[in-house]
Amino acid sequence: MRTLITGGAGFIGSHLCERFLAEGHEVIAVDNLITGDLANLDHLRVNPKFRFIGHDISNPLKVREKLDNVLHFASPASPVDYLEHPIPTLKVGSLGTHNTLGLAKAHGARYLLASTSEVYGDPLEHPQKESYWGNVNPVGVRGVYDEAKRFAESITMAYHRVHGVNTHIIRIFNTYGERMRLNDGRVLPNFMYQALMGESITVYGKGDQTRSFQYVSDLVEGIWRLLPTDHHDPVNLGNPAEITILEFAEEIKKLAGSKSEIVFKPLPQDDPKVRQPDIARARQLLGWEPKVGRDEGLKRTMDFFRRKLGK
Ligand code: NAD
Ligand code: UDP
């Protein structure tokens, strides 16, 4: 089996490359390093079954070797990153998805799209089931990411219906773990950095908004189980354990043994008030559920950041 993974030098992409290589696949990682880091792949580049292609997937790509699977994970994913790169984000969600679907079609390969809980926007239904159509502001600042992913889902279903491509769509909820970028602006790296460095922990708004955090190995397991199926409708992959952002700040501060004070900053525009996956579909279809709780996952991730910061 040969698997091409776009966004392979990113946080999730690098874990996927690692898992597919461990399962005996040949892996081709494609990345333009806009938010990724080749260092995430250092430990894999010595493996003869691994190849890296530096390429912006918003431009078409031809691959000589026969591909069995195409996994499209390329996209800025942190709100700070996609606000900094709005047009590349729109392009990789639209043109990049079109190009990777074309690649899968040309090779007769299975296809998997990394979509997101952001397709539900600021949800009016809670928890979020796959049947919910969402509440997205198309012209707000987050629209560049949300609408690109919504378009990506539409074109993926069209390639399945029109061209018979064996497509899969996952809606990933907030995922964390080793190899997140310390400065990517997402809540977990921010809080861990601030707690470990003794800086103020910045809670946006009142901190009563909620998120549900999934450890990366659980996500990778869900992807591994979904890919061989013939299920084409979207599947939520996330950990339903929901927490307010203020509680999350306190949890990380305690884990770090930190004396940092918690300060409140303005809430960004269109910041979703609640987010929690309904994972009944993944449970039933894949016999999957998250195995790593926040206690264990946060500890592992903090150890990684401690090593990075020498703390
Ligand atoms: P990340 O920023 O660490 O990784 C994204 C990777 O894609 C980076 O290596 C980046 O350089 C690469 N990339 C971006 N645009 C590209 C382009 N045009 N061509 C080639 N490479 C490009 O982010 P991540 O958290 O690992 O996210 C990976 C995927 O998972 C994204 O598609 C994201 O939307 C999705 N996702 C992640 C989460 C999460 O909580 N981490 C939640 C929902 C969805
Ligand atoms: N957040 C925060 N402080 C930070 C960074 C983020 O309070 O330093 C909040 C943010 O407003 C949001 C939640 O944490 O409500 C999760 O933000 P993140 O950027 O990780 O991703 P999102 O889930 O919004 O896509």
Q: How confident is the model at residue 42, as a pLDDT?
A: 97
Q: How confident is the model at residue 71, as a pLDDT?
A: 98
* Tally of CB atoms within 10 A around 59: 11
Q: Please tell me whether residues 13 and 107 are part of one structural domain.
A: yes
The first and second tokens of residue 275, run together, are 């987010």
Q: How confident is the model at residue 291, as a pLDDT?
A: 98
Any atom of ligand 2 within 6 Å of the Cβ of 204 = yes
Distance, in Å, from the CA atom of 124 to the CA atom of 205, rounded to the nearest integer, reads 19
Angle at 174 between CA 187 and CA 185, to 5 degrees: 30
Q: How far is the CA of 40 from the centre of ligand 1 (A)?
A: 13
Q: Please tell me whether residues 44 and 164 are part of one structural domain.
A: yes
Per the annotation, the verdict on 145 as an active-site residue is yes
Q: Please tell me whether residues 12 and 146 are part of one structural domain.
A: yes
Can you give the residue range of the structural domain that contains 266? Answer: 187-209+242-276+293-309
DSSP of 177-223: -TT--TTS--HHHHHHHHHHHTPPEEEETTS--EEE-EEHHHHHHHH
Radius of gyration over every alpha carbon of the chain, rounded to an integer in angstroms: 19
Closest residue CA from atom 21 of ligand 2:
186
Any atom of ligand 1 within 6 Å of the Cβ of 156 = no
The first and second tokens of residue 232, run together, are 């084409």
Q: How confident is the model at residue 76, as a pLDDT?
A: 98
Instruction: Count how many domains the chain has.
Output: 2
Write out the H or E segment, with its range, that includes residue 226. Answer: helix 216-226
CB 305 within 8 A of CB 298: no
CATH code for position 118: 3.40.50.720
Closest residue CA from atom 3 of ligand 2:
203
Q: Which residues pair with 148 in a beta bridge?
A: none
Q: How confident is the model at residue 309, as a pLDDT?
A: 95
Q: How far is the CA of 259 from the centre of ligand 1 (A)?
A: 33
In a domain, 181, yes or no: no
Q: How confident is the model at residue 201, as a pLDDT?
A: 98
The first and second tokens of residue 252, run together, are 């990380």
Q: How confident is the model at residue 259, as a pLDDT?
A: 97
CATH code for position 201: 3.90.25.10
Distance, in Å, from the CA atom of 76 to the CA atom of 82, rounded to the nearest integer, reads 5
Any atom of ligand 2 within 6 Å of the Cβ of 186 = yes
Any atom of ligand 1 within 6 Å of the Cβ of 187 = no
Q: Please tell me whether residues 36 and 167 are part of one structural domain.
A: yes
Q: How confident is the model at residue 218, as a pLDDT?
A: 98
Closest residue CA from atom 18 of ligand 2:
186
In a domain, 182, yes or no: no
* Residue numbers in the chain where pLDDT is lower than 70: none
Q: How confident is the model at residue 256, as a pLDDT?
A: 97
Q: Please tell me whether residues 74 and 104 are part of one structural domain.
A: yes
